[in-house]
Structure 1
Amino acid sequence: MTRAAMRGFCALFAILTGIGGAVAQDKPVKIGVLNDQASVYSAISGPGSVVAARLAIEDVGGTMFGKPIELIFADHGHKPDVGSAIARRWFDTEGVDAIFDIYSSGVALAVQGVAEQKNKLLVVSMASSRDISGKACSPNGMQWANDGYEVASLTIKGASGGKPTSWFFLTVDYAAGHSIERDAQKMIEKEGGKVVGAVHFPLNTPDFSSFLLQAQNSGAKNIGFIGGGADMNNAIKQASEFGIERTGQRFVPFSMTTVDVDALGNQATQGMPLVLSYYWDASDQTKAWAARFKKAFGKMPSDPQANIYSAVLHYLKSVKAAGTTDTTTVLAKMREIPVEDLFTSGAHIREDGRLMREVYYAEVKKPSEMSGPTDLITLVKKVPGSEAFIPANESDCKLLKK
Structure 2
Amino acid sequence: MTSCGISIGIVGLALALLTAPAIAQDGPVKLGVLTDMSSLYADNGGQGSVVAAQMAVDDFNGQVLGRTIQIVAGDHQNKADVGATIARRWLENENVEVILDVPNSAVALAVQGITRDKKKLFIATGAATSRLTGDECSPTGIHWTYDTYALSQGTTKAMSRLGANSWFFISVDYSLGAQLEADSRKVIDAMGGKVIGAVKHPINTPDFSSFLLQAQSSKADVIALADSGGDFINAVKQAGEFGVAQRQKLVGLLVFIADIHSLGLQSAQGLMLSSAFYWDLNEDTRAWSKRFIAKTQKVPTMIHAGTYGAVMHYLKAVQSAGTLDGPTVAAAMRAMPVNDFMTRNGRIRDDGRLVRDMYLFRVKAPEQSKYKFDYYELLATIPGEEAFRPMEQGGCPFLKKS
TM-score (norm 2): 0.92
Partner of 2:49: 49
C-alpha displacement of 1:62: 1.1
Give the alignment of 1:2-401 within 5 angstroms: 26=26, 28-161=28-161, 163=163, 165-246=165-246, 248-401=247-400
Please, which runs of 5 or more residues in structure 1 have no aligned partner? 1-20
C-alpha displacement of 1:190: 1.7
Please, which runs of 5 or more residues in structure 2 have no aligned partner? 1-20
CA separation of 1:324 and 1:22: change in aligned 2, threshold 3 A: farther
Contact 1:155 1:361 survives alignment (8 Å): yes
Q: Distance in 1 between matches of 2:378 and 2:146?
A: 16
Q: Distance in 2 between matches of 1:270 and 1:219?
A: 22
Letter in 1 for 2:283: D
Q: Distance in 1 between matches of 2:23 and 2:392?
A: 42
Superimposed CA distance per residue, residues 337-358 of structure 1 (whole angstroms, 9 cap, x where no aligned partner): 1111112121110011000111
Q: Distance in 2 between matches of 1:213 and 1:328?
A: 50
Contact 1:251 1:272 survives alignment (8 Å): yes
Q: Distance in 2 between matches of 1:180 and 1:300?
A: 25
Superimposed CA distance per residue, residues 3-61 of structure 1 (whole angstroms, 9 cap, x where no aligned partner): xxxxxxxxxxxxxxxxxx99997553110000111001001101110000000001100
| Percent identity of equivalent pairs | 45
CA separation of 1:25 and 1:320: change in aligned 2, threshold 3 A: farther
Q: Distance in 2 between matches of 1:400 and 1:380?
A: 36
Partner of 2:18: none
Q: Secondary structure at the match of 2:371?
A: coil
Superimposed CA distance per residue, residues 222-281 of structure 1 (whole angstroms, 9 cap, x where no aligned partner): 0000111111111111111111111x2011111111111111111111111221121111
Q: Which moved more, 1:48-57 or 1:184-193?
A: 184-193
C-alpha displacement of 1:162: 5.8
Q: Distance in 1 between matches of 2:377 and 2:89?
A: 44
CA separation of 1:189 and 1:109: change in aligned 2, threshold 3 A: same
TM-score (norm 1): 0.92
Superimposed CA distance per residue, residues 169-226 of structure 1 (whole angstroms, 9 cap, x where no aligned partner): 1000001211111121122122111111011000011011111111100000100001
Q: Which moved more, 1:92-101 or 1:321-330?
A: 321-330
Q: How many residues align?
A: 383
Contact 1:122 1:141 survives alignment (8 Å): yes
Contact 1:126 1:147 survives alignment (8 Å): no
Letter in 2 for 1:322: A
Runs of 4+ in 1 over 6 A off after TM superposition: 21-25
Contact 2:306 2:342 survives alignment (8 Å): no
Q: Distance in 1 between matches of 2:25 and 2:349?
A: 27
Contact 1:25 1:325 survives alignment (8 Å): no
Q: Distance in 1 between matches of 2:394 and 2:162?
A: 24
Q: Which moved more, 1:321-330 or 1:67-76?
A: 321-330
Letter in 1 for 2:370: S
Q: Which moved more, 1:32-41 or 1:76-85?
A: 76-85
Q: Distance in 2 between matches of 1:385 and 1:201?
A: 31
Q: Distance in 2 between matches of 1:35 and 1:360?
A: 25
Q: Secondary structure at the match of 1:78?
A: coil
Q: Distance in 2 between matches of 1:25 and 1:382?
A: 45
Contact 2:157 2:191 survives alignment (8 Å): no
Letter in 1 for 2:332: K
Letter in 2 for 1:387: E
Partner of 2:6: none
Q: Secondary structure at the match of 2:378?
A: strand
Q: Secondary structure at the match of 1:225?
A: strand
C-alpha RMSD of matched pairs (Å): 1.9
Contact 2:164 2:221 survives alignment (8 Å): no
Letter in 1 for 2:128: S
Letter in 1 for 2:296: F
Partner of 2:14: none
